[in-house]
Structure 1
Amino acid sequence: MDTDVLVVGAGPTGMTLANELLTAGVSTLLVDRMARRSGLSKAGGVQSRTLEALDQRGLLEPLLATGDHPVAAGHFAGIPLPLDSDGHRLPWRSVPQVVIEGFFERHLAEHGLHARRDHELTGLAQDEDGVTAAFADGSALRARHLVAADGAHSTVRSLLRAAFPGQPGTLTIIAADVRLGGTDPAASHTWNEDGHWAALFPLGTDAQGRPLRRLVLGGPGRSLPRETPVTEDEIRDGLTTVFGTGVRLLELRYARRITNASRQVERYRHGRVFLAGDAAHVHLPLGAQGMNTGMQDAFNLGWKLGAAVHGWAPEHLLDTYHAERHPAGAAVLRNVRAQSLLMDWAGTRDPDVLATREVFTAMAQLPDVRRHLADLMSGTAVRYPMPGTGAHPLVGRPAPDLDLGTARVHELLRSGRGVLLDPADAFAKLAAPWTGRVDRTDRVAPGAGTGPMLIRPDGYVCWAGGDGLEAALGHWFGEPS
């Protein structure tokens, strides 16, 4: 074997997974077909759940120290979700994808992992012991496991001939990185009476400190074949149509056409090969859900691959990646399709769509509805199917980041091992055989508001109170040593 795990694709999903594997003490190779990292951002926001996961690895503060990354309000179908609707300790942040990739690239390099670039995958074969990957330059790499994080047009997915069902794209819209002048639009989403619309999101600043924006344009007559180049005149016409002459294009840095295709692979696991990120699911880029969902795929899979490599993973553990992440990805596709309908991407101004949006907008003002939509868009509404989900409301959900007096819960997860909160010091003997895989603490401050709880390395509660701790330890952390 050249490595334990070969990760194909050095975007946010691949780099997050590489870091998880390093945390798990697993030898990792990261390859990418591009000769250098892209300077463009397909996404610009980091959700609450992703921020929590980064905090669990001690990466959040260093990431936020890379620049000005303000707290950002979310939206659902262009309907603003006020900041007070996000009751999480870590609300959304505006962090462009290019910043995240640069941060991870430096962090991985500090730990001795450099992406092997200009490595175009051309062949793939697997057997009982491992996977062999062939590349265009004639080289080959052998690994125990391979993870495809190589994007929407995944070569790995094609080589596997993996079924990728869903809805084909029926229209295109324009996404562009721009500098604008003139009047700054007050709303992030704006429509005119003819059905033309525009959405604007912050992308940080350029080297001169000038603000950059992500501009998305759509409406009647704007759906052109995907390969048609986007021109500056087209951008200027779109701005004028929606905003009038008060908003001017100063610089067009990058533009592309994206479709409303919505697809998801039938299986996330193919033997020793796993699909993650856009290689597993594609949809319209709404709420940075593509990037965040891919990073959550990586957080879920990393520790499980580590357990398999180290030899203590229960037989079923790797299968739980598909069982947990496929429903999570499907839920994202559903909410994106609902949003695209309510946003009237095609600019039809269909009276039924407008009436539905008006009713939904009114409902979205209700506090309970706002909180539900905020949880949906923040990635915190996910509840993984696992034993015990009916016995306790926390099981299957992200662990609450309680202040235990000596540390926060998230800080206890930085080792990459599981955590057993044992406030009454009642489970020391029972948990002792799993000491090498699970850290136990009884140092819980009075009034911390927590009972006993078992937390997986990815931060999800897999047991809470009552009977069944020994069974849960065996189910998630293997046979006692």
Structure 2
Amino acid sequence: MTAEVLVVGAGPTGMTAANELRLAGVSCVLVDRLPRASELSKAGGLQTRTQEAFDQRGLLEPLLATGDYPVTTAHFAGNLLPLVRRRHRFPWRSVPQVVIEGFLEEHLAAEGIRVRRDHELAGLEQDADGVTATFADGTAIRSQYLVAADGGRSTVRKLLGAEFSGRPGTETMVAADVRLSAEVPMTTITREGYRAQVFPLGVDAEGRPLRRLTFGGPGWSRERDIPVTEDEIRTGLKTVFGNRVELVELRYARRITNAALQAAQYRHGRVFLAGDAAHVHLPFGAQGMNAGIQDAMNLGWKLGAAVRGTAPEGLLDSYHAERHPVGAAVLRNVQAQSLLLDDGPDSAAVRSLFTELVHLPEVQYLLDDMLSGMGFRYEIPGSEEHPLVGLPAHDLGPELRAGRGVLVDPEGQFGDLAQRWADRVNRVDTGAEAKLVRPDGYVAWAGDPDGLEPALRQWFGAPLS
């Protein structure tokens, strides 16, 4: 079998990548090692920037129409940030990962891309022209490029021998999707150092609230592959909450580690690491899933241009240059949250001080920029000269649904120039200020008219004429 791009891993990252490749007109094969979709919501929230990206693809409204996904309040290490609840057009929402995966899989199937399940990768070779992936059943797929979205234990990453460094896991905790008998605080730490966090996961088909429970503490760490039982969860609840709450239903459970690791390089020749294959950390604020979706949004259109032969020099390398710093920033804030939740006496003192600081509006806004994905700015040429360049174009929606670049030209002064890239860039006359927006929704140029043509060449390659 051949394909222009092979995507390994059918989680939110892999399926977003497949959708971006589809929009770029690229043939894509999407495989996953599991025989069926996972039942565990490894993440439970859609941050603002991800919702904005889905809206720009026309996916947000139909996704939210599939159920009741309430607006929730952002938090940092369990400290609520109520002042930012309605700060953006798309506030944080509680949407379980299993819902997102199911929605994206149905969307892709309707567009002719079906997940090929039970495909366990066994071998990987690449040469100057492409990549050959072989699977445990002896089949092989040849592609021009490969996207590794196969999770924190990525087989692709291991076959590449890619450097994956940082802090290895020192303990495990339990993460479970549950129904509980009563409401409990978002974060609870006992005097003995046992801790639990409880976050909303929306409601089930009968309208009953689901929650993500994580807990751990002194002596609780187990080998990661040891199954989690209902009795263990009941014991954990009693240890932290006493008799205040009981387990009503266990949907799914697993063990997670406090590892904080990142790939040194996101690009390895014709193979690209994305999502948890590129960065792993504790699942605070669903940042791993959201960062993975943004990885895929950044990479997909660039691979499309490379396959079509329109990619300018350095475009594929810009994936690592732009997304690696974002992944590193996410790891830093998750490690900071982990320290705030630690059971040591020094952590308690820091936690007390932080609880006072987090009441300040400036602190809440800073943390919201960090957690929502809205504060990340790519180092694009011109970003040091214009406040829009490198940031998302928040005022665009339907204009980006085709997955093409957009030149916002409200005064109609760039028509002749835009025509030279008309096969890759749409021109619209709406908007308050002229700007060039990449297919992933980030502003690539604004301001000096003389900078537009160089920006078009940098991001979209040579013109038609």
1:378 to 372, 393, 405: 372
Contact 1:74 1:83 in 2 (8 A): no
Give runs of aligned pairs for residues 16-35 of structure 1, distance below 5 A: 16-35=16-35
Q: CA deviation at 1:83?
A: 5.4
2:424 to 437, 445, 457: 437
1:460 to 430, 442, 463: 442
In 1: Cα distance, 2:242 partner to 2:352 partner: 25
Which segment drifts farther, 86-95 or 299-308?
Answer: 86-95
Partner SS for 1:372: helix
Q: Cα–Cα, structure 1 residues 271 and 289, in superposed 2: closer, same or farther, change >3 Å? A: same
Whether 2:376 is the aligned partner of 1:394: answer no
Which segment drifts farther, 228-237 or 90-99?
Answer: 228-237
Partner SS for 2:254: strand
Residue 387 of structure 1 aligns with an amino acid whose one-letter code is P
In 2: Cα distance, 1:59 partner to 1:155 partner: 30
Partner SS for 2:164: coil
Give runs of aligned pairs for residues 55-454 of structure 1, distance below 5 A: 55-82=55-82, 84-85=84-85, 87-181=87-181, 183-185=182-184, 187-344=185-342, 347-348=343-344, 350=345, 352-401=346-395, 409-444=396-431, 450-454=432-436
Which segment drifts farther, 188-197 or 131-140?
Answer: 188-197
Q: CA deviation at 1:209?
A: 3.4
Paired residues in the alignment total 463
In 2: Cα distance, 1:215 partner to 1:332 partner: 21
Contact 2:85 2:91 in 1 (8 A): no
Partner SS for 2:334: helix
In 2: Cα distance, 1:135 partner to 1:220 partner: 41
Which segment drifts farther, 292-301 or 417-426?
Answer: 417-426
Q: CA deviation at 1:479?
A: 0.6
Partner SS for 1:245: coil
Q: Cα–Cα, structure 1 residues 276 and 377, in superposed 2: closer, same or farther, change >3 Å? A: same
Contact 2:84 2:368 in 1 (8 A): no
- Cα deviation per residue 1:119-161 (whole Å; 9 max; x = unaligned)? 1111111111111111111111111100100011111001101
Task: Give the aligned partner of residue 447 of structure 1.
Answer: none
Q: CA deviation at 1:221?
A: 2.1
Residue 45 of structure 1 aligns with an amino acid whose one-letter code is G
Give me the TM-score of the superposition, normalised by structure 1. Answer: 0.94
Contact 2:151 2:277 in 1 (8 A): yes
Which ranges in structure 2 are unaligned for 5 or more consecutive residues?
none
Which segment drifts farther, 108-117 or 355-364?
Answer: 355-364
Which ranges in structure 1 are unaligned for 5 or more consecutive residues?
402-408, 445-449
In 2: Cα distance, 1:135 partner to 1:197 partner: 42
Give me the TM-score of the superposition, normalised by structure 2. Answer: 0.97
Contact 1:179 1:252 in 2 (8 A): yes
Contact 1:72 1:83 in 2 (8 A): no
Q: CA deviation at 1:465?
A: 1.1
Partner SS for 1:357: helix
Residue 478 of structure 1 aligns with an amino acid whose one-letter code is G
Q: CA deviation at 1:85?
A: 5.0
Contact 1:301 1:321 in 2 (8 A): yes
Q: Percent identity, aligned pairs only?
A: 66
